[in-house]
Structure 1
């Protein structure tokens, strides 16, 4: 009985010592891996925002054409591109591969700017009634939409792509993925 207890004591002691010796490098490795993931995410975010600088120097028409090109890249068929005077709030009209009509309003603003409630109201006045949108999309280079604009968009199912989401779209995230993430955020109560 005594040798058996002694054997168990040595085995348990050995396991505790092995755990103590090995847990340090394992924990350090996990911390280093987490730090590396965070560093890479930071680099990717910085790159996304750096590339937005090229959008900031575009004219409004160039920005509308860029948005149309993003749609083309993502497999949408362009029906109309380039708004201008008399566009009735539709800078880009395109069809998703599943046939739904997407109507896009583009606003190239300073990053510090915002899209206002009256601008959203104007878009809402024509997006479905005049243009027959299945999907209404408001894209801006500004960092935010005002609370009034956000509330209106939520009530009328307008997808909002502000500067941060635009960074993802501009860097390869397909529009359907952005729309899915927006739906997810909307059901959680955010935009």
Structure 2
């Protein structure tokens, strides 16, 4: 008896949906004008709901970016929180398919994305209080060569590169786009693009940050 009751409860929504479908078909056949109007209204309501949802997401992203864009706040973030901040800024800038990969087994790349123009990016984020060294640049270049061929490498740090690290980046076969502390602040505030001209070029410029 109990088993039959459970089966009956499971079937109730199916029966109700079928009844609604039959009623909708009958109504459309009997009152095509009203049915068309109702369908159009439903489409408009759905479009308005999607637009509202998008605006809510964008407003939340703007609040998040405004609250975390200052360098003093960035210096207090964890590594994963810094990666999320960079990813959110990229989404706000129109990058597509932005995916955060940071963590164990990320292959040396924290974020992958598709640029507003043609081209794929592989991003490594370094939320450091010390300068980024040459060995770390070489490791990133190795990840790009082995697992992320065809991607343009972007190294984003809250610090700066050492002189040797800068030479490694500039001397690589496919030079990196490097965003150091000064440029990072401008980019996160929406005052400078991540990419030269807002899109990828065939050969990225050596550095976006200041020498030091």
Q: TM-score category by the smaller chain?
A: 0.5 to 0.7
Alignment partner of 1:158 out of 143, 165, 176: 176
Structure 1 residue aligned with 2:52 = none
Alignment partner of 1:76 out of 89, 95, 100: 95
> Any conservation in 2 of the 1:137–1:160 contact (CA below 8 Å)?
yes
- SS in structure 2 of the partner of residue 80 of structure 1: strand
- SS in structure 2 of the partner of residue 75 of structure 1: coil
Structure 1 residue aligned with 2:153 = 136
Structure 1 residue aligned with 2:142 = 125
> Any conservation in 2 of the 1:55–1:63 contact (CA below 8 Å)?
yes
Structure 2 residue aligned with 1:45 = none
- SS in structure 1 of the partner of residue 70 of structure 2: helix
Structure 2 residue aligned with 1:146 = 162
Deviation at 1:60, TM superposition (A): 0.4
> Any conservation in 2 of the 1:61–1:82 contact (CA below 8 Å)?
no
Q: 1:72 to 1:65 in 2, by over 3 A?
A: same
> Any conservation in 2 of the 1:95–1:102 contact (CA below 8 Å)?
yes
Q: 1:179 to 1:107 in 2, by over 3 A?
A: farther
Structure 1 runs of 4+ off > 3 angstroms? 177-180, 182-186
Structure 1 residue aligned with 2:41 = none
- SS in structure 2 of the partner of residue 94 of structure 1: strand
Structure 2 residue aligned with 1:15 = none
* Residue ranges of structure 2 left out of the alignment (5+ in a row): 1-68
* Residue ranges of structure 1 left out of the alignment (5+ in a row): 1-49
CA distance in 1, matches of 2:143, 2:72: 31
Q: Deviations over 1:135-176 (max 9, x none)?
A: 21111111x201121111011201111110101111102222
> Any conservation in 1 of the 2:82–2:125 contact (CA below 8 Å)?
yes
Deviation at 1:74, TM superposition (A): 0.9
Q: Which deviates further from its counterpart, 129-138 or 98-107?
A: 129-138
Q: Deviations over 1:45-97 (max 9, x none)?
A: xxxxx811111111100000111111111110134214111111110100102
Deviation at 1:131, TM superposition (A): 1.4
> Any conservation in 2 of the 1:91–1:105 contact (CA below 8 Å)?
yes
